[in-house]
Each structure stands twice: as structure tokens, then as C-alpha cells.
Amino acid sequence: MYSRHGSRKRLLRIGAIPVDSIPRNLAQGAIISKHILVIQGSPTKGGNADMLADAFIEGVEAAGNTATKLEIADMNIAPYTAPDQPEGDMTQVMDAMKAADGIVIATPTYRMQFSAQLKAVMDRMPFDAHDDLAGKEPALLVAGASPEEVLVKDVLAYYKMCFGESLEWKIRGSVLAAGVFAPGQVAATPYLDKARELGRTF
């Protein structure tokens, strides 16, 4: 069970490796690759959000970094009910978030919000997540039928409030795939290339 109280922890890092555990010659300037966690919140395999996630990962790997994709819809993460409820797969999610250098969320839009599966993860994050996840590099991938200005006003603004302001993360970028509804429709748009480029430069 994750404590919802705790003191701030600080760790000097190069990539994902504590400085005092690597050889001196690496600490003096060698480039160490990043590991990026992509939290995929759509229950639709091969859907638009899933395709954005895969394109982003292609860019990450093309740049010499590594990525892991968590399919939240396949995990046991119940909605929040009480502080002492069973953790289920939230332990795995939090461990993966702590180990990653960057955390990217990919989601469809339901009622102008994140998917229910992803919202459950957000609700279950502990109160001291600010301490455990300090310094992460975030980005957002969104697929929705609404126009881009609506996704910016509602979905991106909500993301910035929850992660940028609450966790004090400096958001690296976003891809808002507007006007896509049918599964796979994003393939006929420029948004997959934008997701690859964001991954390459992340």
C-alpha cells in the first residue's frame, strides 16, 4: 500500500541512474539514454490513441532511447473507494512511473475528458506523488473528434492543471489529434508524424 503522506525525497540523477553508482568517466560527460514510460489509456487496441502511442515510441527508439507502453485497460485498477483498498496493479504503475525519466499519457477523449481507465489511475495516485515523481519529463497524446481549439481548452488545460501545476512538471509537448473518431482514422492525418517527431526530440 502506498502511503499518502511522506517527506520529499531528492535524488541527483543522470538519466535514470544515481550519480554515485556509475563509473567516473560516465559521470563526466557520456550521454546516457532516457527511458520513457507511455501510459496508454484507450481500451481500443489499434485505435487512434494507441496508434499515437506507438508512433511516439517509434520516435523515441529512433533517437536511441527506450520506451515501455502500459496498457491501462488490461490492468486491474479499480476506481478509488477508500485509503485501505487493495492496490491491484497500481503498484506496478507507480513503480514504472518512478523508474522512468519521462512519462507520456496517450488517451482518447470521452465527454471532453480522459478515458475512465486513465482517470482511475490519476485518482489512485498517492498524495505524495509530487515527491516520488519530481523531475519527470511529461508529454500528452490525445485523439478526439472535437476541433483542436476545443481539445486545447478542455483536455490540454486539464492535463496542465493535474500534472503541470499539481506535480510541478515542465511539459515537453503535446500532440492533439483533432477531428478523428473512427478507430484508425488518425492514420490518414499528419498527427502520427507529429507524434514520431515529438518522440524523437523528447
Cα separation values, 179 from 174, 188, 189, 191, Å: 16, 11, 10, 11
Length of the chain: 202
Report the DSSP beta bridge partners of residue 15.
none
Place 31 in a pLDDT band, splitting at 50, 70 and 90: low
- On average, the pLDDT of the chain sits at 87
At residue 128 the predicted structure's pLDDT band, cuts being 50, 70 and 90, is confident
C-alpha cell at 173: 509537448
The conformation of residue 125, written as its DSSP 8-state character, comes to S
81-99 in b/e form (b: 16+ CB < 10 A) is eeeeeeeebbeebbeebee
- Can you give the pLDDT at residue 26? 46
CATH number of 35-201: 3.40.50.360
Evaluate if residue 176 carries a pLDDT over 60.
yes
Mean predicted confidence (pLDDT) in 135-157:
95
Query: What residues contact residue 53 under an 8 Å CB cut-off, 6+ apart?
Result: 38, 40, 69, 104, 106, 141, 195
pLDDT, average across residues 72-99: 95
**pLDDT bracket for residue 54 (50, 70, 90):** very high
Please compute the mean of the pLDDT values over residues 159-177 and round it to a whole number: 91
8 A C-beta contact, residue 100 and residue 36 = yes
Q: Please tell me the distance from the alpha carbon of residue 150 to that of residue 156, in angstroms, as a whole number.
A: 9
Look at residues 154, 85, 156 and name the one whose alpha carbon lies nearest to residue 123.
Answer: 85
Q: Is the pLDDT of residue 155 over 90?
A: yes
Does pLDDT of 3 surpass 60?
no
pLDDT at 17 > cutoff 80? no
Q: Rounding to the nearest 10 degrees, give the CA dihedral for residues 83, 85, 91, 93.
A: -80
Q: Which of 37, 121, 129, 26 is nearest to 74 (CA)?
A: 121
At residue 83, the pLDDT reads 87
**What cell does 183 get?**
478507430
For the ranges 97-101, 105-109, 157-161, 165-169, which has the lowest average pLDDT? 165-169
Least confident of 21-30, 104-113, 136-145: 21-30
